[in-house]
Structure 1
Amino acid sequence: MTRVAAIDCGTNTIRLLVAQAWRDDLGRVRLEPLRRRSQIVRLGQGVDRTGRLDPQALERTLAAVADYAEDCRELGVPEGPGARRFVATSATRDAGNRDDFTAGVAHLVGVEPQVVSGQEEARLSFVGSLLGDGGAGGPDSADTGADAGAGATERLVVDLGGGSTELVLGDREPRSAVSLDTGSVRVTERFLAGGTGPQALACARGEVRALLDQAAEVVDLAAPARLVGLAGTVATVTAHALGLEHFDPAAIDGAELGVEAVLASCEAIMASTPQERQTWGYLAPGRRDVIAAGALVWAEVVGRVTQETTAAGRPLETVTTSLHDILDGIALSLVPPAAPSRECTASGCREPGSLEEQP
């Protein structure tokens, strides 16, 4: 059993997961969360415009990193890359001064942060999402104990972040993936900083639709039997659709909502006023100014997949929300690979790594 710490630093939020990780008798990875934390620090503030991390954003984020490093010490997470992994995504990828950030992280956490590509971000998100329903399986996958062979269906996993959105198609393994430069913070700064008027919304929709046209050249948007949404925007839309009074992980994780209910909540969020958003107990203050943009992106993704699957004769009817995402994928990546099984032939068996006797 290994104690691991995963840190995911995106454009808007930085999150920590400390967990016990091990492989069961079938070689499947298990995670027992010990602590989850999330802080909205807006590391990507202004990066889309300037190409650089803002000094105040750096200060906020490194303060959060220091808190998380203390959590690791308190919970006894071993030092070094075997037990700790720090992944930075869209904002850090795009920043010309990202070395200032990565040096600070390395000093505080004791491991070099990994500025991952959009493809690796997509893969980690897909793997993490499988923890939500037992849909993984196999010796090197996460699994909750469900029969991996029962009811396996291809899913499109969408990780909607602040600066990028990843779309990953697959069953128990990713088959194709694409990372788009769109998300709640990026769309807000480009189009909706002055409000959600009709012209601003139309311009934002136009850009997202053009990006989805590009995505469709890589990922078959007509293929999925399931659409699974990850991250804060999707969770907020789900809470709104469910009529929650506060953020309730038990109600949100695994929620299956009809397509029309999801689209209606997205439209209501885009039409809401700042005063209304202040009354929503499930919406974190640091997300209030970007949630309209996030809802717009999610509405466009859900609408496009519904359109494509309907044209293919298999209309999407529901949308699933998962609170298991890239953070879980990072934690899973810290578990060593399963040892190979003994090799047996007609002449007998030998242990992995042993040498055949010479004749």
Structure 2
Amino acid sequence: MRVAGIDCGTNSIRLLIADVIEDEDGDVRLLDIAREMRIVRLGQGVDATGNLAPEALERTFAAVDEYAALIGAHGAQHVRFVATSATRDAGNRAEFMDGVRDRLGVEPEVIEGSEEAELSFAGAVSVRPPADGEDILVVDLGGGSTEFVVGNAQGVRGAISINMGCVRYSERFLTDDPPTAEQVAAAEAEANHQLDTVFAALPIQDVDRVVGVAGTITTVTAHVLDLHSYQPEAIDGSELPVGVIEAAASEFLSFSRRRREQLPYMHPGRVDVIAAGSLIYRTILLRVAEATGNRVRTAVASEHDILDGIALGLAGH
């Protein structure tokens, strides 16, 4: 069976077309046919205005047109379109929903953060499932929100979504180029305030492994690995010490926009939000290390995320 999943977030819209393969033991895996990503910045200004900007809708609809053509060309039998943080927050989301429906022929779903977290967990652990007795924290750091989900081999233990993301924090806090020390301190203080809610809701103290997904985290990993281009195969599964990630975040915060533009693995659409994203990620990891008594000293980057979770869900269509 061939399926297609679309994840439309605050910063990017992504497509996965895959064949669902079931082995003799009944285990299901995905064989990628196509993975595409467009930076459309759907959440442009949503934090301030409460609405999706006309130019952001135009960019997103252009990407949906491209994806509809690819889905048709590859003959996907089942399609699911999932929209997340920016669309949840928008007062004019009906205009967005109508535009997607007209172009794609399926009903777009604006999912709640809890479902987003569960899909992210399913995707993130699809290639390397939890070992017996191992608790994993999956962190899906998006443009408008970040999802946290703790789970193990038996399933999800708890999940929460908070309004903390690289686009939201760039627009709200890091407005200078490069950001000032005062702006960085304000962003960190708010991130820690938001994380108080996360750590009260989830059993972070039990976590044995952290898996980070989405563009901020994979770009930070590319920076640490000093890649000459964006190479998913080199990034996927890379395990880095928390201290190294903290140092990389500090570098992004000190770089000017021009310096970030020159990095060979940096997508143009992430140039102005990577500093905020990496600040959020380092703050999360430092808090996790503290909560676990420094038992968790590393984090794994995964190229498998909510898209894989969406596609795997379609396997049971």
TM class, shorter-length: over 0.9
Matched residues, percent identical? 48
Deviations 1:186-239 (A, max 9, x none): 000111123410111111111110000011111122211001100000001111
Q: CA deviation at 1:152?
A: 4.8
Structure 1 residue runs of 5 or longer lacking an equivalent are 137-149, 338-359
User: Which structure has more helix as a fraction of its residues?
Assistant: 2
Q: Is it true that 1:322 corresponds to 2:305 in the alignment?
A: no
Q: Counterpart in 2 of 1:186?
A: 168
Q: Counterpart in 2 of 1:55?
A: 54
Q: Counterpart in 2 of 1:97?
A: 92
Q: CA deviation at 1:332?
A: 0.5
Does structure 1 retain, via aligned residues, the 8 Å contact 2:9–2:143?
Answer: yes
Does structure 1 retain, via aligned residues, the 8 Å contact 2:4–2:71?
Answer: yes
Q: Counterpart in 1 of 2:82?
A: 87
Does structure 2 retain, via aligned residues, the 8 Å contact 1:221–1:305?
Answer: yes
List 4+ stretches of structure 1 deviating above 6 A. Answer: none
Q: CA deviation at 1:11?
A: 0.2
Structure 2 residue runs of 5 or longer lacking an equivalent are none
Q: CA deviation at 1:244?
A: 1.2
Alignment equivalent of 2:246, drawn from 260, 263, 268: 263
Structure exhibiting the larger radius of gyration computed from Cα positions: 1
Residue identity in the other structure for 1:21: V
Q: Counterpart in 2 of 1:111?
A: 106
Q: Is it true that 1:132 corresponds to 2:113 in the alignment?
A: no
Paired residues for 1:197-346 under 5 Å: 197-310=180-293, 315-336=295-316
Q: Which moved more, 1:212-221 or 1:229-238?
A: 212-221
Q: Which moved more, 1:283-292 or 1:170-179?
A: 170-179
Equivalent-residue separation in structure 2 for 1:166 and 1:237 (angstroms): 18
Residue identity in the other structure for 1:167: F
Residue identity in the other structure for 1:95: A
Residue identity in the other structure for 2:10: T
Does structure 2 retain, via aligned residues, the 8 Å contact 1:241–1:265?
Answer: yes
Q: Counterpart in 1 of 2:38?
A: 39
Q: Counterpart in 1 of 2:22?
A: 23
Deviations 1:304-331 (A, max 9, x none): 0011111xxx521211000100000000
Q: Counterpart in 1 of 2:142?
A: 161
Equivalent-residue separation in structure 2 for 1:66 and 1:131 (angstroms): 29
Aligned residues: 315
Q: Is it true that 1:176 corresponds to 2:158 in the alignment?
A: yes
Q: CA deviation at 1:151?
A: 5.0
Q: CA deviation at 1:129?
A: 0.5
Residue identity in the other structure for 2:102: H
Q: Counterpart in 2 of 1:341?
A: none
Q: Secondary structure at the match of 2:316?
A: coil
Q: CA deviation at 1:25?
A: 2.1
Q: CA deviation at 1:174?
A: 1.1
**CA RMSD, 1 decimal:** 1.2
Does structure 2 retain, via aligned residues, the 8 Å contact 1:132–1:323?
Answer: no
Q: Secondary structure at the match of 2:315?
A: coil
Does structure 2 retain, via aligned residues, the 8 Å contact 1:132–1:322?
Answer: no
Q: Secondary structure at the match of 2:173?
A: helix
Equivalent-residue separation in structure 1 for 2:133 and 2:24 (angstroms): 22
